[in-house]
């Protein structure tokens, strides 16, 4: 990344709109997305078949359906919202002073989670669901989690060694995308300066209006990108990019375009002007496909594929893209037009969504351990864990943000 000096951007003209007011509907969306993330992780032992920190629990088909239909869009919308506020943050701080605070806010929690939180969850999993005999935490941490010991011949996985970032992959990617945007800004401003061009203002004087054709083109890019990536990388296969960036390549095409869209949405005023008719049309399509998936699950799952170069894989990539784009646009416009304001408690919860995301996983997994012997089926356990997980995560996040020295990060 280029780190030299650049000319300071010119101030926006007086008639340019200054988007400094709080977007209250975004607060409501962030809270809703936090709830969906908690619900998704609360559902893991009771429906989906992929790996999770707690195993051997009863299953319910509707919970698996919820996880499948919820997965494609919630993180994409999270990325879009985070990227929407990125240009203004860089504008306020300028390039050099932005890096340090960003590394502190995102890098600090990543390190704490990797070295302190995730090892505890993996140690509990090792003791409860593996048959390698008892081991002290220190031995486990050094030999199994960090991988300084020898891998057992019959290692049960899912990976060796056990070290992972868990849900913190999202924070890692936020940091990477922030630094990439910063590098692009620095290079672009330097090129403009050398050519004697004025650096453009932060936002367009007149917000642009997005057309239905543009949305269709965006969706096509997402669908094609997803299909191409999944030829090589199946869904739920995670790889360590540069050895430390935990990445699921199969979903990158559902994330990166939304980061770009978020940045452009801020610069061009798309969130303010996005036509409701287009958004609700895509939302209706997503609802129809969701109902169709539940109604014809056995036929569709027999045809769809999670990887490979066949029609089933490309069809599922397109199917997921409609869900992703449809629910994202539907939520944005519905909350913009129908949920314009928030109360004091909601604003506090919205400010704490970063903290909620960071701390919810150990809370949810802890609750899943606690209800293992509760005489409830999969549905009862899921609903109990989800409700308690949301309440406890919000309460803990609000409490942590009142702790001296922690608020600056959370």
More confident residue, 203 or 366: 366
Q: Looking at residue 95, what is its pLDDT?
A: 57
For residue 159, the 8-state DSSP code is S
More confident residue, 404 or 66: 66
In tens, the pLDDT along 133-184 reads 899 999 999 999 999 999 998 999 899 999 999 999 999 999 999 999 999 9
- Low-confidence winner among 9-18, 89-98, 239-248, 391-400 (lowest mean pLDDT): 9-18
Q: Looking at residue 230, what is its pLDDT?
A: 98
pTM of the model: 0.91
Does the pLDDT of residue 354 top 90, yes or no? Answer: yes
The confidence band for 94, taking pLDDT boundaries of 50, 70 and 90, is low
Average pLDDT over residues 62-88: 96
Q: Looking at residue 243, what is its pLDDT?
A: 87
Degrees (nearest 5) of the Cα angle 118, 167, 84?
Answer: 145
The confidence band for 205, taking pLDDT boundaries of 50, 70 and 90, is low
Contact 396, 351 (CB under 8 A): no
Distance CA 357, CA 174 (A): 13
User: Would you list the domain boundaries of the chain?
Assistant: 24-400
Q: How many helices (H) and strands (E) does the chain have?
A: 16, 2
Adjacent-strand bridge partners of 241: 245
Distance CA 331, CA 62 (A): 22
The confidence band for 342, taking pLDDT boundaries of 50, 70 and 90, is confident
Q: What stretches of 44-136 show up as alpha helix (H) in DSSP?
A: 61-84, 86-102, 108-112, 118-129
Compute the mean pLDDT over every residue in the chain, rounded to the nearest whole number: 90
Average pLDDT over residues 196-223: 83
More confident residue, 407 or 282: 282
């Amino acid at each position: 990344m280029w780190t030299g000096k650049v000319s300071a951007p010119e101030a926006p003209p007086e008639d340019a709109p200054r988007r400094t007011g709080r977007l209250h509907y975004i607060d409501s969306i962030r809270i809703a997305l936090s709830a969906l993330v908690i619900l998704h992780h609360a559902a893991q032992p009771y429906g989906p078949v992929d790996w999770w920190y707690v195993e051997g629990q009863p299953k319910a088909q509707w919970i698996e359906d919820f996880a499948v239909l919820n997965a494609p869009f919630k993180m994409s919308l999270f990325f879009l919202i985070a990227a929407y506020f990125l240009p203004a943050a860089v504008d306020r701080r300028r390039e050099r002073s932005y890096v340090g605070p960003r590394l502190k806010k995102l890098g600090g929690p990543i390190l704490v989670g990797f070295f302190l939180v995730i090892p505890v969850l993996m140690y509990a999993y090792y003791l409860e669901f593996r048959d390698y005999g008892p081991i002290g935490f220190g031995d486990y941490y050094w030999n199994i989690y960090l991988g300084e010991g020898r891998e057992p011949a019959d290692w049960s996985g899912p990976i060796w060694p056990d070290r992972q970032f868990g849900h913190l992959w999202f924070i890692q990617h936020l940091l990477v995308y922030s630094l990439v945007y910063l590098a692009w800004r620095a290079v672009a401003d330097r090129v403009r300066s050398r050519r004697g061009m004025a650096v453009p203002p932060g936002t367009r004087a007149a917000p642009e209006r997005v057309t239905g054709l543009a949305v269709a083109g965006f969706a096509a890019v997402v669908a094609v990108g997803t299909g191409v990536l999944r030829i090589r990388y199946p869904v739920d296969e995670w790889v360590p990019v540069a050895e430390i960036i935990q990445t699921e390549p199969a979903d990158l095409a559902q994330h990166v375009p939304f980061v770009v869209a978020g940045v452009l949405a801020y610069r061009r005023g798309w969130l303010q002007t996005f036509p409701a008719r287009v958004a609700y049309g895509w939302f209706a399509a997503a609802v129809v496909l969701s109902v169709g998936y539940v109604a014809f699950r056995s036929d569709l799952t027999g045809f769809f594929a999670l990887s490979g170069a066949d029609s089933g894989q490309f069809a599922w990539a397109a199917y997921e893209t409609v869900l992703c784009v449809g629910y994202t646009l539907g939520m944005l416009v519905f909350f913009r037009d129908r949920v314009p304001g928030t109360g004091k408690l909601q604003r506090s919860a919205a400010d704490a969504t970063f903290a909620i995301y960071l701390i919810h996983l150990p809370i949810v997994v802890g609750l899943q351990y606690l209800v293992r012997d509760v005489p409830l089926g999969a549905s009862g356990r899921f609903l109990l864990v989800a409700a308690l997980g949301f309440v406890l995560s919000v309460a803990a996040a609000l409490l942590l943000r009142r702790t001296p020295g922690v608020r600056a990060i959370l």
